[in-house]
Chain A
């Protein structure tokens, strides 16, 4: 019995001891979403420059990341948060979770994507959510659709898969594209799309990996990213020369991902240095292959496959984050009524 007690006590002491090791001063914590990844060695360069280690913490998808950040704002666990995009930006700003920091590297970033004039957040990368199509499903008899108007044409009946804007980030982005295009008439367009037999899924995985032709389904049109075609080449099972999918560049909504110094961090200086570093070429040039997004910095060079196959969208749809935050719950509720009920 005594041995048993001793064993239990020892186990608990060991566990407590290993987990309660004090956080060191020379570490900066970066809180981000699950899709974050950067090549090995990139953060080591930051450590070499500044003597500070980067500890990455992940907190689920963007919505969950923001909810966690807001909940812990009185006692933040992180020094820098990366991954809040323009669809969630205003909610983050309203909750006051970021401190002002204007990085000198911002000169390399186009003003168009610097959405917060007070510089509480800094743009790090961007990408476009667009309709992807399976090239072989279309021909000269049935060319792929060009724009949003075409999608409600009966020629393309039953071909499109979209995600629920209430449960999916690309789904929300595409929904916002239609609002940017049609204004208050978006309801009519979606009603027509429903009549044109659109398929709705809960998330991207379900849409792309199950319903879309690439995943073995039968639908040749799907809401995905402008960077999905290069990914099809990079991650092909047997090497291919060109992607089997294409992008409808007139259907795109721009997503911009931001990083910000956490309000109340005890590591202000290191946090600011990390923001600067995230705009350096070392970090920026790693973004395309690691996260399938475009770097925010104009000076960063794109890797070959990415440059060749990723469509650069000229004039994507955008909406003011403030308008998005003010209306999104009403909009998505209406959307649910129109499309799902």
Chain B
């Protein structure tokens, strides 16, 4: 490699490293060093060994574990359906199951509250609201798509002839599943489960809104300590503990994902038509789990008085007092931020993916691990960290709007990478080899083979980053902002936070609009634009 090329590669490598370093690790380091006072170590220790903390830690792990197990079990039938069968509306089915994943937390919480009210589950004997069950239901609702996507696409790549032979030899279906299918699925199951586990471990809005005041997790406790008790030091201690737990999970995840990349030789078989029983069963299950809350939300948005109308939607353009800007203006902000976040995430995530796949082992592990962590860090602590670290020119971003898309990009990069890396890994090595053999230089190979294939995956990843940014609430709410730069989820939260029927109605209308935008993005991901090859995402 000549010096100029070497420089170009180094430059490219340092882009994502610099970005995550400056906007994630530096703020984190700064807030930890600012708040973790060695003299208070005894005090921290006595807090950590106190009964309330042990209860919180136990509940955090317990609910995350239970949520993960339930999600896995309920998602398996759908993953099976998607992997092995063809049926009319398959793309739509896949898109619909993915909507919740990108739905803003506030919206989902609102939908569940409305659902409980509708079926009388908010009070009395069969009360679900403010119980662990509400929390579990919401976690399942959110994470189902991860499992269906990850496990489904892995399952589709498994050779079905093994099962068929077992069947011919007279094995019972359950037996076949347990002895043949399940063991082969383990890498995908474990990878999906660890992602779901991390999400449930750090979930904030859901726990606060649906779990009620008696359920605290480490994430909500960080918030309570920092914001309400004014003790950022204890919050930091908790954040370090949580980060440690997440790091362990990410390591497991990366390890499993590498194992998963060793796919059996791909078989091209025409999938069977799904039996009616399987189809109806799946649609019923997902209809209740995913469809019902969404339907209720839509109904509340168009319900005015005793009838239905689009009044709430047409009111979105009006600016009302109490809330700094109209819902429409907030949507415009969100769209702008999401585009910037998606571009940043795609560029940086794309470059990082390339180095993960083609770099040496050390480089690859370093990037793969380092870029994932933002998903597991408490938004409260990161928000405060950005406040005290990005405070001197030329990086005094405390009052800049760019901070929001930057934070969103941090959360989007892992998704871009999870989509691009498997695609790059799946590029047939013989294709690259023949190109080199025929005299193509390494950069030509990259340009003519890697780029075109990765480009589509990059598009899918960018679309995910876009959808995540549109709905992001947690991190955004802990960043300083100017009133005319509020995002749609923030305005939604403000609308829900004021008395008066009209505001409530408009909140629901805004929620539905957000849902439609994210759904359209997902359908785009699944649909026609990327038809030529199904892009698999590993998350």
Number of interface residues of A (CB under 8 A): 72
A312 interface contact, C-beta 8 A: no
Q: Which of B376-405 contact A (CB under 8 A)?
A: 384, 387-388, 391-402
Main secondary structure of the interface of A (DSSP, over half): mixed
The residue of chain B having its C-beta at the shortest distance from the C-beta of A17 within the complex is B394
Q: Which of B137-145, B460-468, B496-504 contacts A (4 or more CB under 8 A)?
A: B496-504
Number of interface residues of B (CB under 8 A): 72
Q: Which of B8-16, B58-66, B80-88, B250-258 contacts A (4 or more CB under 8 A)?
A: B8-16
Q: Which of A201-235 contact B (CB under 8 A)?
A: 201-206, 208-211, 214-218, 224, 228, 231-232, 234-235
Q: Which of A71-105 contact B (CB under 8 A)?
A: 71-72, 75, 77, 91
Partner of A236 from the list B208, B322, B384, B502 (CB cut-off 8 Å) is: B502
B291 interface contact, C-beta 8 A: no
Q: Which of A110-118, A247-255, A256-264, A289-297 contacts B (4 or more CB under 8 A)?
A: A289-297
Partner of B482 from the list A56, A64, A217, A292 (CB cut-off 8 Å) is: A56
The residue of chain B having its C-beta at the shortest distance from the C-beta of A238 within the complex is B305
> Which residues in B have their C-beta under 8 angstroms from that of A196?
none
Q: Are B494 and A34 in contact (CB under 8 A)?
A: yes
A15 interface contact, C-beta 8 A: yes
The residue of chain B having its C-beta at the shortest distance from the C-beta of A75 within the complex is B391
A154 to chain B, nearest CB (A): 18
B425 interface contact, C-beta 8 A: no
> Which residues in B have their C-beta under 8 angstroms from that of A1?
8, 443, 446-447
Contact mask for chain B residues 175-219; partner A; CB cutoff 8 A; 1 contact, 0 none: 000000000000000000000000000000000110011100000
Query: Considering the chains assembled together, what is the distance between the CA atoms of A58 and B483 in angstroms?
Result: 7
Q: Are B213 and A72 in contact (CB under 8 A)?
A: no
Q: Which of A18-26, A123-131, A138-146 contacts B (4 or more CB under 8 A)?
A: A18-26
> Which residues in A have their C-beta under 8 angstroms from that of B384?
67-68, 71
Q: Are B499 and A231 in contact (CB under 8 A)?
A: yes
Instruction: Decide yes or no: A37 and B117 within 8 Å by CB, A19-B397, A68-B384 being known contacts.
Output: no
Q: Are B113 and A71 in contact (CB under 8 A)?
A: no
Query: Considering the chains assembled together, what is the distance between the CA atoms of A228 and B501 in angstroms?
Result: 12
The residue of chain A having its C-beta at the shortest distance from the C-beta of B324 within the complex is A37
Q: Are A16 and B497 in contact (CB under 8 A)?
A: no
Contact mask for chain B residues 324-352; partner A; CB cutoff 8 A; 1 contact, 0 none: 10000000000000000001000100000
A302 interface contact, C-beta 8 A: no
A241 interface contact, C-beta 8 A: no
Q: Are A224 and B213 in contact (CB under 8 A)?
A: no
Q: Are A206 and B504 in contact (CB under 8 A)?
A: no
The residue of chain A having its C-beta at the shortest distance from the C-beta of B348 within the complex is A8
Contact mask for chain A residues 162-202; partner B; CB cutoff 8 A; 1 contact, 0 none: 01101100000000000000000000000000000000111
Query: Considering the chains assembled together, what is the distance between the CA atoms of A39 and B444 in angstroms?
Result: 59
Query: Considering the chains assembled together, what is the distance between the CA atoms of A202 and B230 in angstroms?
Result: 18
> Which residues in A have their C-beta under 8 angstroms from that of B388?
71-72
Q: Are B213 and A235 in contact (CB under 8 A)?
A: no
Query: Considering the chains assembled together, what is the distance between the CA atoms of A20 and B384 in angstroms?
Result: 20
A208 to chain B, nearest CB (A): 6
Q: Are B321 and A290 in contact (CB under 8 A)?
A: yes
Instruction: Decide yes or no: A60 and B499 within 8 Å by CB, A37-B324, A289-B321 being known contacts.
Output: no
Query: Considering the chains assembled together, what is the distance between the CA atoms of A341 and B213 in angstroms?
Result: 10
B478 interface contact, C-beta 8 A: yes
> Which residues in B have their C-beta under 8 angstroms from that of A11?
343, 347
Q: Are A232 and B227 in contact (CB under 8 A)?
A: no
> Which residues in A have their C-beta under 8 angstroms from that of B45?
none
Q: Which of B428-478 contact A (CB under 8 A)?
A: 443, 446-447, 477-478
Instruction: Decide yes or no: A231 and B321 within 8 Å by CB, A15-B402, A217-B122 being known contacts.
Output: no
B353 to chain A, nearest CB (A): 15
Query: Considering the chains assembled together, what is the distance between the CA atoms of A91 and B212 in angstroms?
Result: 27
- List 4 tightest A-B contacts by C-beta distance, closest first: A235-B500, A63-B227, A164-B213, A237-B501
A positions within 8 Å CB-CB of B: 1, 5, 8, 11, 15-16, 18-20, 22-23, 29, 31, 34-37, 39, 55-61, 63-64, 66-68, 70-72, 75, 77, 91, 163-164, 166-167, 200-206, 208-211, 214-218, 224, 228, 231-232, 234-238, 289-292, 329, 340-341
6 A-B residue pairs with Cβ-Cβ distance under 8 Å, sorted by A, are: A15-B402, A72-B387, A203-B209, A216-B117, A231-B322, A238-B305
Q: A31-B480, A57-B482, A329-B229 given. 20 additional CB < 8 A pairs?
A: A16-B394, A19-B400, A20-B395, A23-B399, A55-B399, A67-B227, A67-B230, A71-B34, A77-B398, A204-B497, A206-B113, A210-B129, A216-B114, A231-B499, A235-B322, A235-B500, A235-B503, A236-B501, A237-B505, A340-B213
B positions within 8 Å CB-CB of A: 8, 11-12, 15, 34, 113-114, 117, 122-123, 129-130, 208-209, 212-214, 224, 226-230, 232, 304-305, 311, 320-324, 343, 347, 384, 387-388, 391-402, 443, 446-447, 477-478, 480-483, 486, 490, 493-494, 496-505
